[in-house]
Chains A and B, each alone.
Chain A
Amino acid sequence: MSQVQGGFTKQMARNMFYGGAVFFALLFAAIVFHTEQRIPERSNAAAITPQVVAGKKIWETRNCIGCHTLLGEGAYFAPELGNVIERRGPDFVKAWMKAQPTGAPHRRQMPQFNLTEQQLDDLVEFLKWTGQINTEKWPPNIEG
């Protein structure tokens, strides 16, 4: 009843494993190589200013991904931020971060990160650039 009896030997199974793994690894590497060439255009890489880079660092060192999603990846505890500038506008985002935590009882709380005006601007620039990435029209609507 098992599929691997009869003429199918262990050596054949092993060869299928090695052959298949190597073939698909190479194919994957080739496609990734092609994708690499496309990334600058799809991500509008020319618009990555030092401010965007600084903003990404703020994003990372405050562990924002621990609550939020960015392009759908991260934790699912707080809103998607890939399109937050489009949804809320830069001023709202900055004001929001300054006002945290809300302290509303039993509501989810966002920590106060005490960012300087410069750091807030960097973060906004990073999120603004992120919003321009060609994501194949994801998310489906403005709510993220």
Chain B
Amino acid sequence: MSTHVLKYESQKVAKLYFVAALALFTAQILFGLGLGLQYLIGDFMFPYIPFNVARMVHTNLLIVWLLFGFMGAAYYLVPEEAETELHSPKLAVALFWIFLVAGALTILGYLTVPYARLAELTGNDLLQTMGREFLEQPLPTKLGIVVVALGFLYNVSMTVLKGRKTSISLVLLMGLWGLALFFLFSFVNPHNLVRDKMYWWFVVHLWVEGVWELILGALLAYVLIKTTGVDREVIDKWLYVIIAFALMTGILGTGHHFYFIGLPGYWQWIGSVFSAMEPIPFFMMTVFAFNMVQRRRREHPNQAAVLWAVGTSVLGFLGAGLWGFIHTLSPVNYYTHGTQVTAAHGHLAFYGAYVLVVITLISYAMPTLRGRLANSRKAQSVEMWSFWIMTVGMAVMVLALTGAGVLQVWLQRLPTSGAMGFMATQDQLAFFYWVRLAGGVVFLAGLVTYLSSFFIGGEPVTEAEAQAASHGGGVLRRVPAQA
């Protein structure tokens, strides 16, 4: 058993994706620190890397590494769920290199060529899609993303079609197909700014508050099944209820972006009512994760993965749920729209929901890709420390940005006459920005700790040892199964 922890040979392609994801994640954080510094020392790196370029790199890297993470997760999970080898491991490897090279060229383009020149060189005039937040990629990159996504979807869909069809793989596939489908709206850029903005949210909102939640739910459910041994029937039921609520609240919840961009006033009602319910699925996810871990039927040797899974559910709720809720009602959003409150929410939501779920999957899968069920106790302990350090760093950042946002609203937005100007307000926020930067440094320390855990050797924890140690408690005390 210990020699063959990986059930299907083709799952190995996931490793490439995970390694690339973590490398790009690290680059994302370094650019983030640079941006945090530019908030305080305005001319830092200017004119070599102006703020807009650094921010574009920071956010694009985030999207790309999460996509690498999702794809790696799918290549790992789908063969096991479908109980068959991947349709074409070769295609998976080829697409990996295409995506990596295209991504690297895009980032290099951002950093070395003025953006307007890049637009000219890459045929933006044929179809103008560039220069919109998060969708800054040149046309060839956008087309490349579509090609890679189609190849990837073909590969995993064929695998599911020839094998066992589980709820988890079906939900994951729906999420991934939805992701590709809604990305097509990135090619829609009407001359009318209002229309442009409305369809832009079809990509951005219907990704992170729509179809990505299916991916999140499926990945979390998968790791919980594996690590807790709870019945699939129970977990599947939870999964469906969670994603049902995610879409029933999230689709009309799009309205919370439509308040002040020129769309009819009725969106203020629709957006407020439905997005106020968006925390429900995230709360259910927290209850779900704790419940499954408490009712576990086995002690999985990889307790680090369990911590990441539970952490995802809690921080996803705090970031996407709670921090989303605080500024989602239209009378509140009227004052907070476009302030640092949004930045606070964005950071915690992405970290809590999507960064952590990808790391959960990596944490569970990586040891098996390296030929063992779990890492050594020492390595797991370092990994768990990294969770706490990153999370504390993120918490500091988010609280600081929230403080900055509240003060910004107070000085710049609330006064009906004699309000402070934007830049004068920014000067008043310096204290919060320093704290945010400090949080960022702590976060980087957590990330370095996490990466170092991969290089700590030692005897892998075995199934038998995990059972023997179970009296110690693990992440949560086990509750005996109810009659």
Contact = CB atoms under 8 A, between A and B. Distances in A.
A28 B254 contact: yes
A2 to B, nearest CB: 6
Contacts of B312: none
Interface string A23-64: 111011001101110111011010010001100110111111
B342 A79 contact: no
Given A76-B342, A109-B50, A133-B193, 19 more contacts: A4-B234, A17-B243, A23-B248, A24-B247, A28-B251, A39-B262, A39-B263, A56-B191, A61-B116, A62-B116, A66-B136, A71-B197, A76-B339, A79-B422, A101-B46, A107-B42, A108-B51, A109-B47, A141-B416
| Most chain B beta-carbon contacts within 10 A, residue among A10, A107, A135 | A10
Given A60-B132, A139-B413, A13 B191 contact: no
A74 B132 CA distance: 8
Contact of A77 (B38, B43, B240): B38
A105 B340 CA distance: 24
Interface of B: 38-39, 41-43, 46-47, 50-53, 55-56, 115-116, 119, 124, 128, 130-133, 136, 167, 191-195, 197-198, 233-234, 236-238, 240-241, 243-245, 247-248, 251-252, 254, 258-268, 270, 287, 291, 334-335, 337-340, 342-343, 412-417, 419-423, 426
Contacts of B192: 39-40, 43, 45, 48
A64 B115 CA distance: 10
B251 A79 contact: no
15 contacts: A10-B233, A13-B240, A17-B244, A39-B192, A42-B262, A43-B262, A59-B131, A60-B128, A75-B52, A75-B55, A76-B342, A77-B52, A109-B43, A138-B337, A143-B413
Contacts, number: 230
Contacts of A105: 43
Interface in A78-131: 78-80, 101, 103-109, 111, 113, 130
Contacts of A40: 192
A60 B130 contact: yes
A136 B260 contact: yes
A113 B116 contact: yes
Nearest first, the 3 closest Cβ-Cβ pairs linking A and B are A66-B52, A60-B131, A72-B338
B115 A14 contact: no
A76 B413 CA distance: 14
Contacts of A130: 193
A60 B125 CA distance: 12
Contact of B338 (A23, A27, A76, A101): A76
A109 to B, nearest CB: 4
Given A13-B244, A63-B115, A143 B419 contact: yes
Given A4-B237, A63-B136, A74 B338 contact: yes
Contact of A144 (B116, B263, B287, B422): B422
A25 B252 CA distance: 8
A71 B251 CA distance: 22
